[in-house]
Amino acid sequence: MSDLIGFFDSGLGGISVLHEARRVMPNENYLFFGDNKNTPYGPRSLKEIRALSEAGIGRLLDRGVKAVVIACNTVTSAYGEIVRAEHPELPIIGMEPALKPAHFARHGGRVIVLATDATLRLEKFKRLMARYGDDAIPVVGRGLVELVESGKANTPEAEEAVRALLSPYTDRQIDAVVLGCTHYPYLRDHIQKLFPEAKLFDGRDGTVQRLKSQLEKYGLRSDDAPGTVEYQTSAGPETVEMMKRLMDWMD
């Protein structure tokens, strides 16, 4: 087994989770793999998402990682239970839209859950909705992942795309917006602008706290030397540069 913690996402979204992990555990060594060539996963069939996820997480497993973070809500929904059943020996931490804390933060208004098509249509989210979704409004973030992947998160084009998706709800009392895809934290300013009173929730903090406690439970923490990050992508070298820029931008 190596000392690496493997992170997987369909693309750049997982960098937002990796950044939080580095902040909380700077002495760990991370291996990030983004399947940028095949992103977005959200509009794909369950079968396709599972096949791509198996290949992507397989790359991390081949390197003997000591833990896996599925830094993607879509992959967790489609493949999380399968990979956990296949690798009971390994801490595997997944993600789901932070609907539960958003639900409890309401004060008479509603919760928007913004996520990919696949996340919202699969069984895992239906179970979450049954428990905490009585006042939730699920919205597919169509086109948003593509904007982030093409480096346009901070452009008027992205702001307009967010507005087009969410303006139908600006006349209601929205108490919270759940960023149910790891690509969306890069768009948070555009979202907050539309709902200035709403609290935004994403799963990064909870995921990283869970990673930390799992590493501790398994006796796998590395805490004695400055950690490293290795970036890998199924796309070209310019994507690795983009990953590094995003990490710096979030500092």
Tell me which of 18, 93, 98, 119 binds ligand DGL, using CB under 6 A.
119
Find the catalytic residue in 15, 72, 98, 178. Answer: 72
Residue 189, number of CB atoms within 10 A of its CB: 12
The neighbouring-strand residues paired with 33 are 8, 232
Q: Torsion-angle region of residue 64: left (phi > 0), alpha (psi -120 to 50) or beta? A: left
Asked if 165 is an active-site residue, the reply is no
Q: Considering the complex, state which of residue 127 and residue 172 has its C-beta at the smaller distance from ligand DGL.
A: 127
Q: Considering the complex, state which of residue 143 and residue 227 has its C-beta at the smaller distance from ligand DGL.
A: 143
Among candidates 139, 14, 123, which has minimal Cα distance to 79?
A: 123
According to the binding rule CB under 6 A, does residue 42 interact with ligand DGL? yes
Q: Considering the complex, state which of residue 111 and residue 147 has its C-beta at the smaller distance from ligand DGL.
A: 147
Tell me which of 9, 28, 159, 175 binds ligand DGL, using CB under 6 A.
9
The Cα 211–Cα 161 span in angstroms is 33
Find the catalytic residue in 181, 187, 191, 215. Answer: 181
Q: Min. distance of Cβ 3 from ligand DGL in angstroms?
A: 26
Tell me which of 30, 32, 41, 79 binds ligand DGL, using CB under 6 A.
41
CA 82 to chain centre: 18
Pair 148, 13: CB distance under 8 Å: yes
Among candidates 1, 116, 5, 7, which has minimal Cα distance to 56?
A: 7
Question: 3-state DSSP call for residue 35?
Answer: coil
Instruction: Go through the chain and tell me how many residues it has.
Output: 251
Query: What string marks each residue from 142 to 161 as x (binds ligand DGL by CB under 6 A) or -?
Result: ---x----------------
Q: Min. distance of Cβ 1 from ligand DGL in angstroms?
A: 27
According to the binding rule CB under 6 A, does residue 234 interact with ligand DGL? no
Q: Considering the complex, state which of residue 74 and residue 239 has its C-beta at the smaller distance from ligand DGL.
A: 74
Query: What string marks each residue from 67 to 106 as x (binds ligand DGL by CB under 6 A) or -?
Result: -----xxx--------------------------------
Site for ligand DGL, residues 166 to 185, rule: CB under 6 A: 181-183
Asked if 82 is an active-site residue, the reply is no
Amino acid at 230: E
Question: 3-state DSSP call for residue 195?
Answer: coil
The Cα 8–Cα 47 span in angstroms is 18
Q: Min. distance of Cβ 71 from ligand DGL in angstroms?
A: 7
| Strands of 92-93's sheet in order across | 92-93, 67-70, 4-9, 29-34, 229-233
Binding residues (CB under 6 A) for ligand DGL: these are 9-11, 13, 39-42, 72-74, 116, 119, 145, 181-183
Q: Which amino acids are annotated catalytic? A: 72, 181
